[in-house]
C-alpha cells in the first residue's frame, strides 16, 4: 500500500490534531483515484465494480465524524474553531450529507449486498465505511476513510481529497443542484468495491460468520460471547474492538439460527431510516448546493490571494523530510498547500451568511446542523403481527427497536413458544 501523507503532521501547524483516543464499538493517498490538480469537464458517472466472489457483504455507512475540535469537557473549542475556520453546524450537516452521498454511490457499484446509512457504527453489518471530514471549503474537500469489517480488522484506509474546478458550474451538462463533491464520493465507492475484491473468498466467509456470531452474542451473551476472542486495534485516534472466532455454533443450533433469522427484521428499521434521511437530505439539498455554488468563487479568490508566506512554511517542512509526498506526484504537493486554507473558511462562511439572497439557505443549514441528532418523526414498523411505534431521536428509536427484537430472542429460552419466524 502506498504511503500516506500524515495529516497529523500537517494539521499540527494549525493545532488540529488530538492525541486523545476515542473508544468506538463497531457492530488517503488519494492519487490512484483522484487527481486534484486535474481540472476538466470530463463527465463523471457511477462506476460498477464486479464482485469477484459472488458473495455480497452488507455494508453500513455511519454518519461521518464531522472533525469538530472539542475541549477537555467535550464542548466545542471555540478558539480552535476560529483558527481552523470551521462553521460547526454546517460541518455537522455535511457529515450527514456526505454519508448519504456515499451510500448512494456505493450502492451504485453493485459490489455489496445491503447498503445502509446508520447514525453510528453499532448496527450489525459485515463491513463498515468509517469516515472523518478533515476539510471542507466549498472548493476543497478532504475525507479520511477506513473500511473496517465485523472482525474489527481495517481492510484499508486512505485520505481522499478533491478540488472543485474553478469553472465547474460552466461545464456542459453540470446539474447545479448536484453536490459538487460528487467525484470524490464516486471515487471512494469504487475504491471500497476494489478493496473488498482483494479479500480471499475464505476471508469473506469468515467476515460473514463473525457478523452472525456477534449478533447472536449481543442477544444471548451467556451462550455465545465466550465463542469470541476480543482485542483492540486503532484508526485515526479511535480504538476499535477486534473479534476472532474461537468456536462456531453447530449447524443444528436452533437458537443460533433463529436469532440470526431475526437479523432480517433489522432491515425494516433501516429501510424506514433510509426514507427518513432521504427526505432530510432532499430538503437540505437546495440550501447546501446554493452554499457550494455561492461560496466557490469566494474560496478560490481567497486562496489565490494568500500571501506566499503561508506556502513557505510548508516548503520548509517538506524539504526537511518531515512529509513524504504521495508517490512523488506533484498533485500531492497541491493537496498540502490546499490543506493550509482552513483559516480562510471563516471569510467564505461570512460572505454566504451576509448575502441577502442566501440568508434563508444559511438559516436552513444552521438549523438542520444544530438539530441533526434531535427527534425524528415517529417510526411505525410491523413486526410479525404487532405494530410497533418508535419515538425520540434516532439513537433512542434504535434502542427501542433492539428492545423489541431482544424480546423475541429471549423467547428462545422459553420452552414450547414459537417465534413465528
pLDDT (tens digit, 9 = 90+) per residue, 330-356?
Answer: 444 444 444 444 445 555 566 555 665
- CA distance readout (Å), 131 to 143, 232, 313: 7, 19, 28
For the CA atoms of 159, 141, 283, 74, the dihedral, rounded to the nearest 10 degrees, stands at 70
- Residue-level pLDDT at 396: 82
- Residue-level pLDDT at 87: 83
Where is mean pLDDT largest: 29-43, 218-232, 344-358? Answer: 218-232
- Residue-level pLDDT at 71: 84
Lowest mean pLDDT among 45-59, 108-122, 128-142, 361-375: 361-375
- Residue-level pLDDT at 149: 97
- Do 121 and 114 form a contact (C-beta atoms < 8 A)? no
Average pLDDT over residues 312-326: 43
For the whole model, what pTM was predicted? Answer: 0.76
- Residue-level pLDDT at 109: 95
Q: Which residue has the higher pLDDT, 415 or 385?
A: 385
How buried is 16 (Cβ within 10 angstroms: 0-12 exposed, 13-18 middle, 19+ buried)? buried
Nearest Cα to Cα of residue 153 among 130, 120, 132: 130
- Residue-level pLDDT at 379: 76
Q: Where are the alpha helices (DSSP H) in 3-87?
A: 7-12, 78-84
- Residue-level pLDDT at 207: 97
Q: Which residue has the higher pLDDT, 367 or 8?
A: 367
How buried is 279 (Cβ within 10 angstroms: 0-12 exposed, 13-18 middle, 19+ buried)? exposed
pLDDT in tens, 53-65: 899 999 999 999 9
Q: Is the pLDDT of residue 319 over 50?
A: no
pLDDT in tens, 252-266: 998 898 888 888 777
7 band by pLDDT with thresholds 50, 70 and 90 = very low
Q: Which residue has the higher pLDDT, 339 or 375?
A: 375
- Residue-level pLDDT at 11: 32
Neighbours of 5 (CB within 10 A): 22
Q: Which residues does residue 382 pair with via DSSP β-bridges, in sequence order?
A: 387
- Residue-level pLDDT at 388: 81
List b or e across 359-392, with b for residues whose CB sees 16 or more CB atoms inside 10 angstroms. eebbebbbebbeebeeebeebebebeeeebebee
The per-residue pLDDT of the chain, averaged, comes to 76
- Residue-level pLDDT at 36: 39
C-alpha cell at 181: 463533491
151 band by pLDDT with thresholds 50, 70 and 90 = very high
Kindly report the three-state secondary structure assignment for every residue of 52-69.
CCCCCCCEEEECCECCCC
Q: Is the pLDDT of residue 45 over 50?
A: yes
Q: Which residue has the higher pLDDT, 394 or 138?
A: 138
415 band by pLDDT with thresholds 50, 70 and 90 = very low
Contacting residues for 182 by C-beta, under 8 A, at least 6 apart: 44, 101, 105
Where is mean pLDDT largest: 39-43, 85-89, 163-167, 320-324? Answer: 163-167
- Residue-level pLDDT at 137: 84
Amino acid at each position: 500500500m502506498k504511503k500516506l501523507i500524515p495529516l497529523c503532521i500537517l494539521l499540527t501547524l494549525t493545532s488540529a490534531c488530538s492525541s486523545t483516543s476515542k473508544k468506538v464499538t463497531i457492530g488517503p493517498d488519494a492519487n490512484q483515484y483522484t487527481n486534484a490538480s486535474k481540472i476538466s469537464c470530463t463527465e463523471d458517472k457511477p462506476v460498477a465494480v464486479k464482485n469477484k466472489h459472488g458473495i455480497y457483504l452488507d455494508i453500513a455507512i455511519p454518519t461521518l465524524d464531522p472533525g469538530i475540535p472539542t475541549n477537555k469537557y467535550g464542548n466545542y473549542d471555540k478558539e480552535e474553531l476560529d483558527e481552523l475556520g470551521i462553521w460547526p453546524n454546517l460541518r455537522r450537516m455535511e457529515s450527514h450529507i456526505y454519508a448519504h452521498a456515499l451510500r448512494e454511490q456505493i450502492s451504485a457499484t453493485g459490489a455489496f449486498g445491503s447498503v445502509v446509512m446508520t447514525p453510528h457504527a453499532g448496527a450489525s453489518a459485515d463491513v463498515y465505511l468509517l469516515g472523518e471530514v478533515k476539510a471542507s471549503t466549498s472548493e476543497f474537500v478532504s475525507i479520511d476513510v477506513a473500511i473496517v469489517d465485523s472482525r474489527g480488522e481495517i481492510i484499508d484506509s486512505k485520505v481522499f481529497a478533491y478540488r472543485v474546478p474553478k469553472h465547474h458550474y460552466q461545464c456542459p451538462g453540470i446539474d447545479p443542484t448536484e453536490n459538487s463533491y460528487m467525484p470524490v464520493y464516486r471515487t471512494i465507492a469504487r475504491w471500497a468495491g476494489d478493496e473488498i475484491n482483494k479479500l480471499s473468498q475464505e476471508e469473506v466467509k469468515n467476515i460473514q460468520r463473525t457478523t452472525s456470531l456477534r449478533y447472536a452474542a449481543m442477544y444471548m451473551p451467556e451462550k455465545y460471547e465466550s465463542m469470541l476472542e476480543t482485542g483492540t486495534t486503532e484508526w485515526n485516534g479511535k480504538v476499535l474492538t477486534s473479534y476472532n472466532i474461537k468456536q462456531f455454533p453447530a449447524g443444528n443450533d436452533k437458537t443460533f439460527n433463529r436469532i440470526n433469522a431475526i437479523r432480517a427484521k433489522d432491515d425494516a428499521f433501516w429501510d424506514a431510516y433510509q426514507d427518513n434521511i432521504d427526505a432530510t437530505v432532499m430538503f437540505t439539498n437546495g440550501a447546501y448546493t446554493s452554499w457550494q455554488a455561492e461560496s466557490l468563487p469566494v474560496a478560490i479568490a481567497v486562496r489565490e490571494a494568500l500571501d506566499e508566506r503561508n506556502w513557505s512554511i510548508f516548503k520548509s517542512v517538506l524539504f526537511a523530510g518531515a512529509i513524504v509526498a504521495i508517490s512523488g506526484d506533484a498533485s500531492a504537493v497541491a493537496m498540502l498547500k490546499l490543506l493550509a486554507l482552513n483559516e480562510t473558511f471563516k471569510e467564505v462562511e461570512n460572505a454566504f451568511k451576509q448575502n441577502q439572497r442566501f440568508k434563508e439557505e444559511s438559516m436552513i443549514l444552521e438549523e438542520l446542523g444544530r438539530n441533526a441528532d434531535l427527534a425524528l418523526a415517529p417510526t411505525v414498523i410491523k413486526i410479525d403481527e404487532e405494530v410497533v411505534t418508535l419515538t425520540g431521536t434516532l439513537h433512542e428509536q434504535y434502542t427501542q427497536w433492539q428492545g423489541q427484537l431482544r424480546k423475541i430472542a429471549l423467547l428462545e429460552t422459553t420452552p414450547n413458544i414459537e417465534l413465528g419466524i
